Amino acid sequence: MSPADESMTQFERNARVVLEASVSHIDARIRSRLNQARHAALEAASARRPAWWRSLALMPAAGAVAAAILVATMLWHGQPGELGGTEAQRSAVEDMDLLADGEALDLVEGGDGSFYEWAVAETDNGESEG
C-alpha cells in the first residue's frame, strides 16, 4: 500500500475501487471524447481573458457615466444654500449676479464712487463688530 492509501478511510478505499472499476468498463470511443473535452476545458480555463474594463465596447458607456457623476458632483457641491455652501460661495454667487446685471454695471460706471467706498467701509465695519 502507498502512503496515500494508508491515510484513506474504508469508505474512500471502497469509492476508489468502484470508480476505477467503472473507468475500466468505458469503451475507447467514450474515453477519447472525455479526454478531448478535458483538454478543451483546460485550454479554455488557461486562456487569458481581457479585463471587462478594457473592453472597447464599454468605453462610451463608461465615459457617459463618468461625465454624469462629475456634473452631478459639481452641481451638488456648487449650489449655495442654507444647508450647503459656505459664506464665500454665497458671496461669489452674489458677485456674479451683480456682474450679470447690466443696469448695476451702468450705475457703478457712471455713479457716485464715494457712495460705493462708503458702502464697502460700512460692510467691513459690520463684519469686524460681529
Considering the domain architecture, whether residues 96 and 122 belong to the same structural domain is answered as yes
Considering the domain architecture, whether residues 72 and 118 belong to the same structural domain is answered as yes
84: pLDDT strictly greater than 60: no
Considering the domain architecture, whether residues 41 and 70 belong to the same structural domain is answered as no
Residue 6 corresponds to which cell in the numbers above? 494508508
Considering the domain architecture, whether residues 40 and 66 belong to the same structural domain is answered as no
**What pLDDT sits at residue 3?**
57
**What pLDDT sits at residue 37?**
94
Percent of the chain with pLDDT over 90: 13
Task: Please check whether residue 80 is in contact with residue 89, taking contact to mean a CB–CB distance below 8 angstroms.
Answer: yes
d(CA 95, CA 89) in angstroms, rounded, equals: 10
Decide which of 96 and 127 is more confident. Answer: 96
d(CA 108, CA 101) in angstroms, rounded, equals: 11
Residue 39: Cβ within 10 Å count: 10
Does 70 map to a domain?
Answer: yes
| Stretch 26-35: mean pLDDT | 88
Considering the domain architecture, whether residues 75 and 116 belong to the same structural domain is answered as yes
* Number of domains within the chain: 2
Considering the domain architecture, whether residues 66 and 91 belong to the same structural domain is answered as yes
Per-residue pLDDT tens over the stretch 116-130: 778 888 887 766 544
61: pLDDT strictly greater than 70: yes
Q: Which domain holds residue 14?
A: 3-46
d(CA 101, CA 93) in angstroms, rounded, equals: 12
Decide which of 76 and 6 is more confident. Answer: 76
> Residue 112 in 3-state DSSP?
coil
